[in-house]
Amino acid sequence: MSQTTAPFHTPADLAEALRLLAAHPEAVPVAGGTDLMVAVNYRLTRPAAMLDLTRLAELREWTDEGDAIRIGSGVPYARITAELATVLPGLAAAARTVGSPQIRNRGTLGGNLATASPAGDGHPPLLATGADIEIASARGTRTVPVEAFFTGPKRSVLQPGELITAVTVPKAAGPQQFLKVGTRNAMVIAVCSLAVALDLDARRLGTGIGSAGPTPLTAPDANLIELPWGRTGLFNDALAEEFGRRVAAAARPIDDVRGTAAYRRHALAVCAARALRRVWTAAHGGSGR
């Protein structure tokens, strides 16, 4: 009855991984292990078997698909920050806020999505940009838009036997921002977070809210705020504040040990106003604030 006898499958490629998973549905996939092993160490879960994803080269690469970047689910945060900051600035900024250097070296976007915590920092920028999640099993592959991925706190559409293989994120077509509020200046789970993406080509605004609802959320009403596209001078603080109010209204926060619902709403309004001012100024030749 020791803790080390559970089988540890080590597939060499994705096809083998999917076969093994179909044959051993009890096997729990492990990527960086930064969520799973915490649960294992606390005995919150006792996996009957594990399936190691770290050897699957297919999951550890990102590719340029023209107007989007396809990020393998096993690419660690440290690489997203180092390699994708220009094309995916919102996601790279979010990746920079995750945990500590050790966690960013191991932790992956795939693990973040599969855990589906409302506080997962990877989620808001994916919502703000309308990313797609690619899911594979022995039966085939399906693609789920990120808005449809989360179904509840720590719940998603992911089925047993399925692996997240990649996330396809549209390349930035304008400035993006990610702001994460925490009670400590580093290494902190978000009290709330916000991603904003300005798409200058499509003249569209995207938002993603973290840690302020049962799942990560978008703010559709805020996205529709009327912006003076192309007319630099007409942007003003009232617009930024209205955007803040709409983002706060989209949140569904609760009181918990990390913060109160009232604080989360307030902080989201402040963050949203700041984010919109920053992206707008950046797009129109400002300081990038």
Partner 1 sequence: MPEPAANTFAPPQTPTPPTRAAGGVGTPRPGGVGSSPTRPDAEAKVNGAFDYASDLEFPGMLWGHTLRSPHPRARIRAIDPAAALAMPGVAAVLTAADVPGKRHYGLIEADQPVLALDEVNYQGEPVAIIAADTLDLARLAAAAVAVDYEVLEPRCDPEAAVEAGDYFRYQPVRLGDPDAQQPAAVVTREYVVGMQDQAPLGPESGIAVPALDGGVELYVATQWVHADLEQLAPCLGLEPDRVHMAIAGIGGAFGAREDLSVQVHMAMLALATGRAVKMMYDRAESFVGHVHRHPARMRYEHAADADGRLLYVKARIVLDGGAYASTTEAVVGNAASLAVGPYEVEHVTVDAWGARTNNPPCGAMRGFGGVQTCFAYESQMDALAEALGLDPLEFRRRNAVAQGSKLITGQVVDAYDPGRADRGRPFSPLADMLGRVKDIPVPAVPVGRDIVDLPGGTGNTTHGEGVRRGVGYGVGLKNVCYSEGFDDYSTASVRLELVDGATVAYLHTAAAEVGQGHWSLQAQIARTELGVDRVELLPNDTKAGSAGSSSASRQSYMTGGAVKAACEAVRELWRDRDLADGPIEATRVFRHRATKPMDPVTGQGESHVQLALCVHRATVDVDVELGLVKVVDLTCVQDVGKIMNPVALEGQIHGGSAQGLGLAVMEEMITRDGRVMNASFTDYLIPTILDMPRMRLRIVENADPEAPYGLRGAGEPPTLSSTPAIVAAIRDATGLPLNQIPVRPEHLTAHFGRQP
Considering only CA atoms, which of 288, 196, 199, 284 is closest in space to residue 246?
Answer: 196
Decide which of ligand FAD, partner 1, none touches 254; Cβ closer than 5 to 8 Å per partner kind: none
Give the span between the Cα atoms of 45 and 258, in whole angstroms. Answer: 24
Supply the minimum distance, in Å, between the C-beta of residue 139 and partner 1.
Answer: 35
Decide which of partner 1, ligand FAD, none touches 41; Cβ closer than 5 to 8 Å per partner kind: partner 1
| Torsion sign, CA atoms 269, 155, 258, 262 | positive
Site for ligand FAD in 150-169 (CB under 6 A): 163-164
Asked if 178 and 124 count as a contact pair (C-beta separation under 8 A), the reply is yes
Decide which of ligand FAD, partner 1, none touches 2; Cβ closer than 5 to 8 Å per partner kind: partner 1
Considering only CA atoms, which of 96, 246, 121 is closest in space to residue 192?
Answer: 121
Supply the minimum distance, in Å, between the C-beta of residue 204 and ligand FAD.
Answer: 26
Name the segment binding ligand FAD (CB under 6 A); options: 12-20, 115-123, 195-203, 224-232: 115-123
Give the span between the Cα atoms of 62 and 168, in whole angstroms. Answer: 9
Supply the minimum distance, in Å, between the C-beta of residue 93 and ligand FAD.
Answer: 13
SS (H, E, C) 177-211: EEEEECCCCCCCCCCEEEEEEEECCCCEEEEEEEC
What does the block give as tokens for 166? Answer: 């990649």
In the bound state, the residue with its beta carbon closest to ligand FAD is: 111
Name the segment binding ligand FAD (CB under 6 A); options: 29-37, 80-88, 242-250, 273-281: 29-37
Give the residue, chosen from 31, 126, 267, 283, that forms a contact with ligand FAD under the rule CB under 6 A: 31
Give the span between the Cα atoms of 145 and 177, in whole angstroms. Answer: 21
Tell me which residues touch partner 1 (CB under 8 A). Answer: 1-3, 41-43, 46, 93, 96-97, 177-191, 193, 257-260, 262-263, 266-267, 270-271, 274, 278, 289
Q: Tell me if 181 contacts ligand FAD by CB under 6 A.
A: no
What does the block give as tokens for 183? Answer: 């009670």
Strand runs labelled E in the chain: 8-9, 27-30, 49-52, 62-64, 68-72, 132-137, 140-145, 150-152, 155-156, 163-170, 176-181, 192-199, 204-210
Give the residue, chosen from 98, 269, 273, 275, that forms a contact with ligand FAD under the rule CB under 6 A: 98
Q: Tell me if 120 contacts ligand FAD by CB under 6 A.
A: yes
Q: Interface with ligand FAD by CB under 6 A: which residues?
A: 28-36, 38, 53, 73, 97-99, 103, 106-108, 110-112, 114-115, 120-121, 163-164, 189
